[in-house]
Amino acid sequence: MRDRLSRALPLLCVLAILIAVWFAGSVAMNWDQAQDLADEDATWSDIAQATLALDRPLLPTPDQVASEMIRSMFGYPPTSPRSLVFHAGVTAWAAIVGFGIALLAGMALAIGIVHVRTLDRALMPWLIASQAVPVLAIAPMVVVVLGNVGLTGVLPKALIAGWLSFFPVTTGLVKGLRSSDPMQRDLMRTYSATEAQVFAKLRWPAAMSFLFPSMKVAAPLALVGAIVAELPTGAQAGLGARLLTGSYYGQTPQIWAALFMAAFLAMLAVALVDLTQALAAYTRGGRL
Amino acid sequence: MTTLLLLGSLLTGGLVLALLARDDRPVFRIATPVVFGMLVLWLWQIVCTGYEVPLVLLPPPSAIAAAVVDHLPTLAADFRQTVLRAVIPGWAIGSGAGLLAAIALDASPFLRRGVLPLGSLVSAMPIVGIAPIMVMWFGFDWQSKAAVVVVMTFFPMLVNAAAGLGVTGAMEADLMRTYAAGYRQTLLKLRLPSALPFVFNALKLNATLALIGAIVAEFFGTPIVGMGFRISTQAARLNLDVVWAEIVMAALAGSISFALLALLERVVTFWHPSYH
């Protein structure tokens, strides 16, 4: 109890400070707009109050964002394109499909790299170098080109999400598949185990403790990829579309609500990976 | 004819690579990926020209190289707008502020326990999404892009530097005490230097993040110059060779800055065990 309190108290204090700063920032940033809208004889406190309740504030207050989130999440049925849940679902689906593609492709490539020396020497340096390249820049082109070939909907977005999250999965798995103790590999040899058996009984279990951390990096990346891929399609659906329409029409509460929704999805994704990790550990007797 | 050429190139390329990969000498370790890269470019080229893949689908490397040469003034202007005006200042300010914040947090365990969990939470979030807000606050020009970059680079540096400041062992700290060194001296002579590998890690990570942030922020509105602006508008017009030329520039900017940082890291943290 004491331990939990000593961890929660600093966090709560910092959160309280952040919210206070946010309110103060709202007053300061919305001041000019509120002053323009106010009557001639408005007092300072009238204007200050008005800054917290503008329709299109430069910085909406925390409670404005919260009420916009509640309104757009629960005010409409989840299938309506006006519902935030609908847009979050569209983006999450693209991210999940992309993450699945990334996992499969990353596993295939990592297994190839670990077992085929030529692949390791020829491809691995490029994989590492690709970390320094802003791959997200290709998103608009991929979406437009695939749209031209007739591929629309979830697939172009999923491909970008997958492309982005593929690198951490691959490099993490390559490290993991190589992490088994050479002694144990020698032991497997003395058992005259085949390459497939060594993989299934030694390499793969040893790679698990590397796979989950890289999945935790990759999952939010898939989300970023899906959101950015929604920008060039002319903003039809998804959180990226909400950001874009919000910025076109100056609907700041809508932008902030979409942003918080994206943050929530990212947290959810990381929590899901944690859960899978716990399940995997449980099925294997409590340790990875 | 093309199919024959393709199969032949694949076969010879694969054979050459397999031979190269057998040798462990450093020359061969560099030659293998280089040959692989050239093989990929060559296959890309013959597939595009041989099967007459439409330019709006995938331009061949030769067309991309020609586009780089043809559009050099435009590319240079975009580079100036995006990299020199938004990425580099934003990266420097964001990383610097993150480092200073980590040092400030270091003095107060209470604040550290409050801020660090939030910091690592935020650094796993899709921060690029703040781009429309920054465009609204700081206008269409490079200032809003630099602001996005500042926010994106701040948190990874904060988290990494804070972790780096925590790595010094009790032995070293005791030694500093026997020297009667104060907090400042311990920080400057012991803890900051030993945090440097972590700081460089964040700097390298941030170099890529900064480019992504600036390019994506330009998708939300720019003056008519900039790499992200060029990529999104020319992709919509199906001028894919120009888009690819911009991507080549972005990739070059990313890998060159990464390489420079890695070089600097080697020079500054020469004492680190990973270089022995």
Closest partner residue to B136 (CB to CB) among A133, A247, A258 is A247
Contacts of B21 in chain A (CB under 8 A): 117-118, 120-122
Fold of the A84-283 domain: MetI-like fold (1.10.3720)
Chain-chain contact of A118 with B18 (C-beta, under 8 angstroms): yes
B 60-99 residues inside an 8 A Cβ radius of A: none
Q: Is the pLDDT of residue B125 over 70?
A: yes
Closest partner residue to B255 (CB to CB) among A123, A129, A239 is A129
Radius of gyration of chain A (CA): 25
Burial of A1 (0-12, 13-18, 19+ CB in 10 A): exposed
Spatial distance between the Cα atoms of A16 and B263, rounded to a whole number of angstroms: 42
What is the per-residue pLDDT across A105-159, written as a single tens digit (0 to 9) for each? 999 999 999 888 888 888 888 888 887 788 888 888 888 888 877 777 788 888 8
Contacts of B26 in chain A (CB under 8 A): none
Mean pLDDT, chain A, whole residue set: 85
Cα nearest neighbour of B112 on chain A: A10
For residues A53 and A281, the model is more confident at A281
Over residues A241-245, the mean pLDDT reads 85
Q: Is the pLDDT of residue A23 over 60?
A: yes
Chain-chain contact of B126 with A224 (C-beta, under 8 angstroms): yes
Percentage above 90 pLDDT, chain B = 22
B231 close to A (CB below 8 A): yes
Contacts of A95 in chain B (CB under 8 A): none
Contacts of A133 in chain B (CB under 8 A): 208, 250-251, 254-255
What is the per-residue pLDDT across B61-112, written as a single tens digit (0 to 9) for each? 999 999 999 999 999 999 988 889 899 999 999 999 999 999 998 888 888 8
pLDDT of residue A286: 67
pLDDT of residue B275: 67
> pTM score, two decimals?
0.85
B248 close to A (CB below 8 A): no
pLDDT of residue B137: 87
Q: Is the pLDDT of residue B147 over 90?
A: yes
Closest partner residue to A141 (CB to CB) among B17, B33, B240 is B240
Spatial distance between the Cα atoms of A61 and B251, rounded to a whole number of angstroms: 39
Is residue A261 a contact partner of residue A84, using CB atoms and an 8 Å limit? yes
Mean pLDDT, chain B, whole residue set: 87
pLDDT of residue A79: 77
For residues A76 and A194, the model is more confident at A194
Is residue A101 a contact partner of residue A158, using CB atoms and an 8 Å limit? yes
Q: Is the pLDDT of residue B162 over 80?
A: yes
Spatial distance between the Cα atoms of A138 and B231, rounded to a whole number of angstroms: 8
For residues B97 and B131, the model is more confident at B97
Closest partner residue to A247 (CB to CB) among B125, B135, B227 is B135
Residues with Cβ within 8 Å of residue B228, at least 6 apart in sequence: A137, B82, B214, B215, B216, B217, B218, B219, B222
B179 close to A (CB below 8 A): no
Report the sign of the C-alpha dihedral through residues A281, A283, A286, A287, in that order.
Answer: negative
What is the per-residue pLDDT across B2-46, written as a single tens digit (0 to 9) for each? 788 888 888 888 888 888 878 778 888 888 888 888 999 999 998
Per-position DSSP letters for A121-146, written without gaps between them? HHHHHHHHHGGGS-GGGGHHHHHHHH
Domain locations in chain A?
Answer: 2-59, 84-283
B 126-155 residues inside an 8 A Cβ radius of A: 126, 128-133, 135-137
pLDDT of residue B126: 83
Chain-chain contact of B137 with A58 (C-beta, under 8 angstroms): yes
pLDDT of residue A234: 58
Is residue A266 a contact partner of residue B124, using CB atoms and an 8 Å limit? yes
Left if phi > 0, otherwise alpha if psi is -120 to 50, otherwise beta: which for A72? alpha
Over residues A22-47, the mean pLDDT reads 81
What is the per-residue pLDDT across B187-207, written as a single tens digit (0 to 9) for each? 888 888 888 989 998 999 899
Per-position DSSP letters for A243-285, written without gaps between them? HHHHHHTT-HHHHHHHHHHHHHHHHHHHHHHHHHHHHHHHHTT
Give how far the C-alpha of residue B32 lies from the chain's centroid of Cα atoms, to the nearest Å.
24
Left if phi > 0, otherwise alpha if psi is -120 to 50, otherwise beta: which for B180? left
Q: ipTM of the assembly?
A: 0.81
* Residue A247 distance to chain B (closest CA, Å): 6
